[in-house]
Amino acid sequence: MEERLLKGTTTVGIMCKDGVVLATETRATAGSLIAHKRTQKLFQINDRLGMTIAGLVGDAQILIRDMRAECELYKYHRERDISIKGAATLLSNILYQRRFYPYYVQLLIGGVDEEGPSIYSLDAAGGSIPDKYVSTGSGSVMVYGVLEDRYKEGLSVEEGMELVIRGLKAAMERDSYSGGEISIATITKDGFKMLKDAEVAKIRKKVI
């Protein structure tokens, strides 16, 4: 069953003036079965880099371990963190090497470096596309409806958190593969922060 998990998912990432917001819902599915109600789909890679996963859980876990290790090696050899663009290129190359026997994943990677905040969407063949906001998974159509209507240049991280909750709420109400709780992480010049359940609940109460 583990290899079938996470075929339906909703993740979202948005770029703000002072950082990046990454978020997911937490339902894991195996076909029509809700296999887990609280699955982690949002991960810290280093102090200023995060990643969301959609696809097969086994493939995603391998890629997360690889990225953490490669970013640590980069820092060890160069005595500085890899750039967000560099991390996206690295992950793209890993995916491209397996394009004929691909990892069944769709990934978002984002964070903050000397160039500021940025987000990249990566597909199973290694395609890497930067964007200001992006959503993946089976509920992404609903999320895009919210983002297209409400996203604007210069959003603060606080406003960004409210926006991703609105988008995920729309997906969770209309996409049967998306549900459970909401996980949110912010990445700013001060580092990676995973919000606690109480913090997410407080924002949800404000916007819903």
Token code pair at residue 140: 């992404």
Catalytic residue among 9, 10, 52, 136: 9
Strands (E), 31-180: 33-36, 42-46, 49-55, 105-113, 116-122, 128-131, 133-137
Q: Among candidates 12, 3, 58, 63, which has minimal Cα distance to 35?
A: 3
- Residue 121's Cα: distance from chain center in Å? 9
Distance CA 70, CA 83 (A): 12
Distance CA 205, CA 67 (A): 35
Collapse the DSSP code of 24 into the 3-class scheme (helix H, G, I; strand E, B; otherwise coil) and give the result: strand
Distance CA 74, CA 186 (A): 23
Q: Is 10 a catalytic residue?
A: no
Q: Which residue do the tokens 């996203």 mark?
A: 151
Token code pair at residue 87: 């991390």
Query: Which residues form the catalytic set?
Result: 9
